[in-house]
Structure 1
Amino acid sequence: MRLDEFTEQNFDQLIQWINSEELNYLWGGPNYTFPLTHQKIRQHCSKQDVFPFLCTFKGQNVGFVELIKKTDHHFRICRVFIAHQYRGQGLSAKMLNQLIAKARTEFKATHLSLAVFEHNIAAKHCYESLGFKTVSIEIGTRSFRGKNWDLVLMDKALTQKTSKENALKEA
């Protein structure tokens, strides 16, 4: 599995994946309106604090994820997406583990945060399995088609890899 920089040549792939208004809101929150367009993606991804990545697995594009710089050492994980045909294979956790390692080593992050809709149970379990802890729940701050979607805010402190983790990675 690889995380590569998400570039304009990948925009059509993302547009193909995010193919409904509800999926668009679940994935992008209020930052994107449906349907996605090259202009909307370019406008968002060109911000200097946004670091988008395309995830590939066995030569196939399987997902998308972003890091958003909040401070020099705090980054937020946003817009996590695994293509429908690749779900249920543990790829989200693998992609996020790579993103966490990249955040730690390349971006020198010591703190990661994210937000997930309360009803997105699979995503919440994935984040919890990676050591993210719920720090608060925003009730009534987001809504889709007149229905409130509660937002769970989660955090994870990063430490430098221990010698044991380094040994496991090299094995």
Structure 2
Amino acid sequence: MNLRKFVAQDSTEVISWFSTEKESLLWGGWMFGWPLSETEMVNRSQLPEVEFMVLSSGNDKLGFIELQHISETEIRLCRIVINPEYRGLGYGRSLIALSIAEVRKREQFKIATLAVFAENVAAYNCYKSYGFISVDKEPKFREFNGQKWPLLQMETAL
């Protein structure tokens, strides 16, 4: 199992992991539209402050994560997802561990942050088990289709 840089061809499979608008919103908000757009995903992957990474084993794509450079010392883990075929097998924790190890190699980052929707209990517990703690920061919700979804902010020192 390894963490590798995303290539444009990965977008087709990653977006296939979402079958409903709600699943898509829990993962990435409106970032890539609905239905999800390969073009939007590839365009975002080319931004200088963003790195897309894929957790893979052989030819199998197990998961995806976005690393967003917030500042000289802060990196944000975003749009974390495990391929539905591999959920519940510990790959989420592996994806976080490998991502943090990659970030630590760079040495300038001192803190990793992320946000998770309160209803996404499995993801919250995964992040907590890796040492992320809840912090009192904005935003505390996102609004989708007229509904406010509570959002939890988390961070860990690197």
With the shorter chain as reference, the TM-score category is over 0.9
Q: Give the equivalent residue in structure 2 for 1:127.
A: 127
Q: CA–CA distance in 1 between the matches of 2:121 and 2:10?
A: 28
**What displacement does 1:45 show?**
1.2
1:99-143, CA deviations, whole angstroms, 9 ceiling, x for partnerless residues? 000011136321100000011000000000010010026577313
Q: CA–CA distance in 2 between the matches of 1:153 and 1:21?
A: 23
Q: Give the equivalent residue in structure 2 for 1:39.
A: 39
Contact 1:66 1:79 in 2 (8 A): yes
Runs of 4+ in 1 over 3 A off after TM superposition: 137-141
Give the structure with higher Rg (CA).
1
Q: Give the equivalent residue in structure 2 for 1:165.
A: none
Structure 1: tracts of 5 or more residues without a match: 159-171
Q: CA–CA distance in 2 between the matches of 1:85 and 1:47?
A: 29
Cα RMSD (Å) of the superposition? 1.7
Matched AA of 2:153:
L
**What displacement does 1:70 show?**
0.6
Q: Give the equivalent residue in structure 2 for 1:94.
A: 94
Q: Give the equivalent residue in structure 1 for 2:25.
A: 25
Matched AA of 1:97:
A
Q: TM-score, normalised by structure 2?
A: 0.92
Q: TM-score, normalised by structure 1?
A: 0.86
Contact 2:140 2:153 in 1 (8 A): no
Q: CA–CA distance in 2 between the matches of 1:86 and 1:102?
A: 22
Aligned pairs for 1:1-171 within 5 A:
1-57=1-57, 59-106=59-106, 108-136=108-136, 141-158=141-158
1:25-62, CA deviations, whole angstroms, 9 ceiling, x for partnerless residues? 11002322111222211221111000000111354111
Contact 1:137 1:151 in 2 (8 A): no
Contact 2:5 2:52 in 1 (8 A): yes
Matched AA of 1:78:
C
Structure 2: tracts of 5 or more residues without a match: none
Residues 153/140 of structure 1: CA separation in 2 closer, same or farther (3 Å cut):
closer
**What displacement does 1:12 show?**
0.8
Q: CA–CA distance in 1 between the matches of 2:146 and 2:157?
A: 35
Give the share of equivalent positions with the same residue, in percent: 32
Contact 2:142 2:149 in 1 (8 A): yes
Matched AA of 2:44:
H
